[in-house]
Amino acid sequence: MADNENCFVGENNTGHIWDADLRELSNPPPRWWTIAFWISMGWVVVYAILYPMIPYGQEATKGVLGWTQMKEYHQGMAEIEAVRAPFEERIAQMSAAEILADDGLASYVVASSKVLYGDFCSACHGSGGMGGPGYPVLADDEWLWGGTIEAVVTSITNGRRGVMTAHGKILNDEEINSLAQSVIARDVASNPLYMSKGCIACHGMDGGGMAILGAPSLVDTIYRFLPEEGETQLESVKYTIRHGVNDPSDPNTREAEMPAFRDRLSESDIKKLAVYVHRMGGGQ
Amino acid sequence: MSDKQNQEKVISDLYAEAEQWHINTGEETIHAKRVPGRWRTLKWLLASSWLLFFLGPYLRWGDRQAVLFDIPNRQFHLFGATILPQDLWMLSLLLLFFAILLAVATAIAGRIYCGFFCFQTVWTDLYTWIEERLEGPPQKRRKLQQAPWDATKIRTKVIKHSLWLLIALLTGISFVAWFVDAFTLWGSLFSLTVGTTALFFIALFTVGTYLLAGFMREQACFWLCPYARIQGVMLDKSTTLPTYDFHRGEPRGRMLKGKPQEGKGDCVDCNQCVAVCPTGVDIRQGQQEGCIMCALCIDACDAVMEKVHLPKGLIRFESLDQLEGREERPMHRRPRVWIYSAILAISLLGIGYGLSTLDAIEVKVLHNRTPLFVPLSDGSIRNGYTIKILNKVSEDLETTLTVSGPPGIELSGAEEPIHAQNGQVSSRAVFVTIPREALTGESTPIHFQAEAIREEGTLLVSQRSSIFFGPPR
């Protein structure tokens, strides 16, 4: 091939010619492209000197700037902490009630505690406080243990564990049915069984509940335990009366416990969560 | 000197400036001759509207700059009006308006924007005017270009470039003064506390102006400017533009001893039209890419025609149709003109509508998603909303919020008026409660209304509809 005489004078071929006219042409890229290419190559060298780049085994060259991703991350976090510090300082010194009363600080808490709530609360109580199967709604105005800011702080700090005796052995089916009907009708006080069977001790004279014991109101429209799939509300109420709540003597008792967060969250975090929950709309 | 001798001298001087036409790609500096005339005067007059660019930032409106494009705070102040990013659709209409204005002007009268108003040609004109004051007319300037560097040449050049740089610097500062408070800017310039962004843009415009108007000049129009090329295709045969009347002018020929020669046209081939051209083109070659339609060749030709006692207007504003003796199409028979005009009118109407209905406050309602609704202990249903109030007036407002909907609807969280900072969006979380029996379906329309009273007593109102969700019935 190379022996062939190059009879295409003036053409930009490489001199590689086959079958007299089949030839390899040379089309160099434009000058600006070549320049940009060499500048890029130069930058690669500069970059390799400045930044970590060339791996060897588990390690890599460090680069003279000493840059690492973790350093950059910590710097970024430090910047955020610096912005938050004045707020956090005040939160540490104030009570939850004082934070709630301070509009600016409460807005900061609501804006910044979403992650905290998501990590520690939303698994049971739902991302917007809408509750879950067997877990109370935080956004409504019905509170088992009181909806004041102090009560919410106590609930988070120490946890809550309400108890209701399983009445399956004490009451016959007819009595259970009668009481359950009264609960559904939101009129327990007129049922003589309500007083004679001792419900009144925890749920109050009028059935309005007792926050100090975590006993819910029986006369409002919100039920502590909602019916399961295929169950009516009446059946659900009967089940609660029969098996109670957290009664160790009944293996089928309803379980309902709020764990204590005293050891898992800082005081500031508990205050922030209390304000966050209070601001969901149900706080008293 | 006798009249005749004088005339001869004038003519021989004219021919001395004769040059061959060719495309200049920057190897030759165009030294255009300056000839007085009515187009020259008009060019100065229109160019002087650029003084607004230099003086505009110092206009005040109340306690602030009258026209301020405040980018860091995301608001534009236009005298009494404050335009926020939410109103930016008007800016697109404004850009459309100017784009079409360029198109319609080009369709009717060619590249008059280039010739009379474009900052590139206006600044170049100013720079070359300074050059002529300092270095003299074109022949002297060319001579100086080749002269050795002696004290006089150095002094002249130093003064010239200093003046150019001064104008460039003023241009840069004036540009930046539209974006930050002008007086504060000057203060920070003198106290050397000016910010890096401002400094960067001042430097950019200083260098840009100096290079473009001082050195690039017509080369920017030839090879850099996209509008020059776009406008080139907007011309048609009915477009009026500076035209050499070749019927009358050709065959051109030099005039000898002031006598018109038999069989020759009116063009005396004095090349004055070329000598005065700021882009160095020969208009007698016909319409071409280099022509910015500044009409300075018309002034030059008219002056010569006067001297040689021939009728003026050998070069004049005329369409190709007119020149060829065809009937001129009236404006309404030219689709470009009326389609462009229609777009102009629509964009103007849009801007007018936008500016006249510029709400002083604007309420936006976001429905909380988790949970969509909360049943309350008394059986009513509650929905949460985030209310955002945009305040576009120049003072803070205390906004009261009300809601209307089914009977028994109640609003909580808005008992205190919402403090809306000027130029900002202020938000408030509110709850709306409706008795369950008043709800007819899973979703019910409700209406929010925000009201505020300005200091001077005007009532501002903004309304927004939203949806109230409830349990399935």
Q: Kindly report whether the peptide bond that precedes residue B371 is cis, defined as omega within 30 degrees of 0.
A: yes
Mean of pLDDT values over B14-36: 72
pLDDT in tens, A133-192: 889 999 998 999 999 999 999 999 999 999 999 999 899 999 999 999 999 999 998 999
Q: How is chain A split among helix, strand and coil, in percent rounded to 5?
A: 45, 10, 45
pLDDT reading at B52 higher than 90:
yes
| CB-based contact A126:A134 (threshold 8 Å) | no
Instruction: Output the pLDDT for position B166.
Output: 97
Angle, helix A69-93 to helix A267-278, in steps of 10 degrees = 70
Residue A129 forms contact with B (CB below 8 Å): yes
Average pLDDT of chain B is 88
Instruction: Output the pLDDT for position B18.
Output: 52
Min CA distance, B469 vs chain A (Å)?
A: 14
SS (H, E, C) chain B: CCHHHHHHHHHHHHHHCCCCCCCCCCCCCCCCCCCCCHHHHHHHHHHHHHHHHHHHHHCEECCEECEEEECCCCEEEECCEEECHHHCHHHHHHHHHHHHHHHHHHHHHCCHHHHHHCHHHHHHHHHHHHHHHHHCCHHHHHHHHHCCCCHHHHHHHHHHHHHHHHHHHHHHHHHHHCCCCHHHHHHHHHCCCCCHHHHHHHHHHHHHHHHHHHHHCHHHHHHHCHHHHHHHCCCCCCCCEEEECHHHHCCCCCCECCECCCCCCCCCCCCHHHHCCCCCCCHHHCCCCCCCCCCHHHHHHHHHHHHCCCCCCCEEEECHHHHCCCCCCCHHHCHHHHHHHHHHHHHHHHHHHHHHCCCCEEEEEEECCCCCCEECCCCCEEEEEEEEEEECCCCCEEEEEEEECCCCCEEECCCCCEEECCCCEEEEEEEEEECHHHCCCCEEEEEEEEEEECCCCCEEEEEEEEEEECCCC
CB contact under 8 A, B371 and A141: no
pLDDT reading at B158 higher than 50:
yes
CB contact under 8 A, B429 and A110: yes
Write out the two tokens for B25: 């790609």
pLDDT in tens, A195-247: 998 899 999 999 999 988 999 999 988 998 988 888 899 999 999 999 999 99
Domains of chain A: which residue ranges? 13-60, 70-160+260-278, 163-255
CB contact under 8 A, A139 and B371: yes
CB contact under 8 A, B374 and A127: no
Radius of gyration of chain B (CA): 33
- The model's confidence at residue B22, banded by pLDDT at 50, 70 and 90, is low
Min CA distance, B154 vs chain A (Å)?
A: 36
Domain A163-255 coded CATH 1.10.760.10: yes
CB contact under 8 A, A130 and B377: no
Residue A234 in 3-state DSSP? Answer: helix
Instruction: Output the pLDDT for position B260.
Output: 59
Instruction: Output the pLDDT for position B411.
Output: 93
B-chain residue closest to A216, CA distance: B377
Instruction: Output the pLDDT for position B54.
Output: 95
Q: Cα separation of B470 and A42, whole Å?
A: 65
B4 by Cβ neighbours in 10 Å (0-12 / 13-18 / 19+) ranks as exposed
Chain B hits for A142, CB-CB cut-off 8 Å, are 376-377
- The model's confidence at residue B1, banded by pLDDT at 50, 70 and 90, is low
Mean of pLDDT values over B161-170: 96
Instruction: Output the pLDDT for position B257.
Output: 66
Quick one: fold of B361-469? Immunoglobulin-like (2.60.40)
CB contact under 8 A, B375 and A140: yes
CB contact under 8 A, B375 and A281: no
Q: Cα separation of A214 and A125, whole Å?
A: 17
Min CA distance, A113 vs chain B (Å)?
A: 16
CB contact under 8 A, A281 and B370: no
pLDDT reading at B3 higher than 90:
no
pLDDT in tens, B191-212: 988 889 999 999 999 999 999 9
CB contact under 8 A, A279 and B429: yes
Residue A190 forms contact with B (CB below 8 Å): no
CB contact under 8 A, A222 and B375: yes
pLDDT in tens, B107-138: 999 999 999 999 999 999 999 999 999 999 99
- The model's confidence at residue B16, banded by pLDDT at 50, 70 and 90, is low
Q: Cα separation of A142 and B382, whole Å?
A: 13
pLDDT in tens, B281-298: 889 988 888 899 999 999
B-chain residue closest to A224, CA distance: B377
Q: Cα separation of B296 and B308, whole Å?
A: 19
Instruction: Output the pLDDT for position B15.
Output: 62
Min CA distance, B22 vs chain A (Å)?
A: 28
Percent of chain A with pLDDT over 90: 64
* Region A70-160+260-278: CATH code: 1.10.760.10
Instruction: Output the pLDDT for position B428.
Output: 87
pLDDT reading at A2 higher than 50:
no
Domains of chain B: which residue ranges? 3-232, 241-325, 361-469
Residue A139 forms contact with B (CB below 8 Å): yes
Q: Which residue has the higher pLDDT, B365 or B24?
A: B365
pLDDT in tens, A58-105: 888 899 999 999 999 999 999 999 999 999 999 999 999 999 998 889
Chain B hits for A217, CB-CB cut-off 8 Å, are 377
Instruction: Output the pLDDT for position B420.
Output: 87
Instruction: Output the pLDDT for position B261.
Output: 66
Chain B hits for A139, CB-CB cut-off 8 Å, are 371, 374, 382, 384
pLDDT in tens, A20-52: 778 888 888 888 899 999 999 999 999 999 999
Chain A hits for B371, CB-CB cut-off 8 Å, are 126, 128-130, 137, 139
Percent of chain A with pLDDT over 70: 98
Using a CB–CB cut-off of 8 Å, the residues of B that contact A are 368-371, 374-379, 382, 384, 429, 431
The closest of B72, B9, B11 to B303, measured between CA atoms, is B11
Instruction: Establish, for the pair of chains A and B, how many residue pairs have beta carbons separated by less than 8 Å.
Output: 45
Residue type, B256: L
Average pLDDT of chain A is 90
Of A128, A142, A222, the CB nearest to B371: A128
Instruction: Output the pLDDT for position B421.
Output: 85
Mean of pLDDT values over B67-72: 88
Instruction: Output the pLDDT for position A87.
Output: 94
Instruction: Output the pLDDT for position B259.
Output: 63
Mean of pLDDT values over B315-336: 86
pLDDT in tens, B238-266: 899 999 998 998 888 887 765 656 778 88
Instruction: Output the pLDDT for position A15.
Output: 82
